[in-house]
């Protein structure tokens, strides 16, 4: 079975406080975007992972989230070994949720291939054990995410006909680094409320808290954001804890040059 795990962006991201369990309480809206990996899963006699693409991370198979998704379901159901073919197009370590999407789409594919009859709720519960963003990709619809990112509520975000210009610099921002420098705080306005307002108010009110901790370390990211505004974006921000920066445009943007980017892509929403 072949599936196409897609990326996501964050509209606003408030890091509210550090919880007793060590995680941070978050509030963000996640939006699926049409930048996809290609994933094929087949029954096999031995579980193997074959990867290709330009954005690979050299890790053992046992650390891959797709493998972990299969291992998790294998502990619950009598499913055989699988062959995994993964072609990566979503940049890794960019705040776009590529690994989380691969894991969630693997759960969805395994459910169908092996006729497990898992409900969306059960798939989301399994996905949430693999990573904070994973559950989002089960329904794969715009959602308000709270908790550590696994508590999801549907939200109306209509950007139909707008354009997203995605810039992924040649910079890797580790999650530990981003969280290590963050100063949690309660926002005066909820992300849901801000996004419900006219989009021309987002630039002032829709904030990704990680920008305050990441931009001083990687000023080139701030420069990219400012360049997106200079090119006509009505809103620009870092996605997740970085390093991807995106701009939203009313009309298809002019080509954007950035010498330090590993990906620049225009996507119609």
124 is catalytic: no
**204-237 b/e (C-beta count within 10 Å ≥ 16 → b):** eebbbbbbebbbeebebbeebbebbeeeebbbbb
- The reply to whether 133 belongs to the active site is yes
> CB-hemisphere CA count at 13 Å for 195?
22
List CB contacts of 12: < 8 A, sequence separation 6 or more: 27, 28, 29, 191, 194, 195, 206, 207, 208, 237
- Residue of 102, 133, 209, 225 marked active site: 133
Tokens 């060590």 identify what position? 22
Structure-token pair, residue 127: 């996905």
Residue among 8, 68, 89, 265 flagged as catalytic? 8
Residues classed as catalytic: 8, 133
């Amino acid at each position: 079975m072949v599936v196409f795990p897609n990326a996501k962006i964050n509209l606003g991201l408030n890091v509210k406080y550090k919880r007793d369990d060590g995680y941070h309480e978050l509030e963000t809206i996640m939006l699926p975007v049409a930048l996809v990996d290609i994933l094929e899963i087949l029954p096999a006699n031995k579980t193997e992972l074959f990867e290709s693409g330009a954005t690979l991370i050299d890790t053992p198979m046992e650390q891959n989230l797709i493998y972990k998704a299969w291992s998790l379901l294998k502990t619950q159901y009598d499913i055989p070994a699988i062959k995994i073919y993964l072609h990566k197009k979503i940049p890794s370590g960019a705040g776009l949720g590529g690994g989380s999407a691969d894991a969630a789409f693997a759960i969805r594919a395994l459910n169908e291939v092996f006729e497990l009859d898992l409900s969306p709720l059960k798939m989301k519960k399994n996905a949430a054990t693999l990573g904070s963003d994973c559950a989002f990709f089960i329904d794969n619809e715009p959602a308000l995410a709270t908790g550590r990112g696994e508590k999801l509520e549907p939200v109306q975000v209509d950007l139909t006909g707008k354009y997203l210009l995605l810039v992924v610099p040649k910079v890797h921002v580790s999650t530990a680094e981003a969280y290590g420098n963050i100063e949690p705080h309660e926002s005066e306005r909820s992300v849901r409320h801000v996004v419900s307002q006219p989009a021309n108010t987002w630039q002032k009110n829709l904030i990704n808290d990680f920008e305050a901790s990441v931009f001083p370390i990687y000023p080139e990211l701030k420069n990219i954001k400012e360049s997106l505004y200079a090119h006509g974006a009505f809103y620009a921000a870092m996605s997740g804890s970085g390093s991807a920066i995106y701009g939203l445009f009313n009309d298809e943007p002019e080509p954007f040059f950035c010498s330090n980017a590993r990906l620049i892509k225009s996507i119609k929403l």
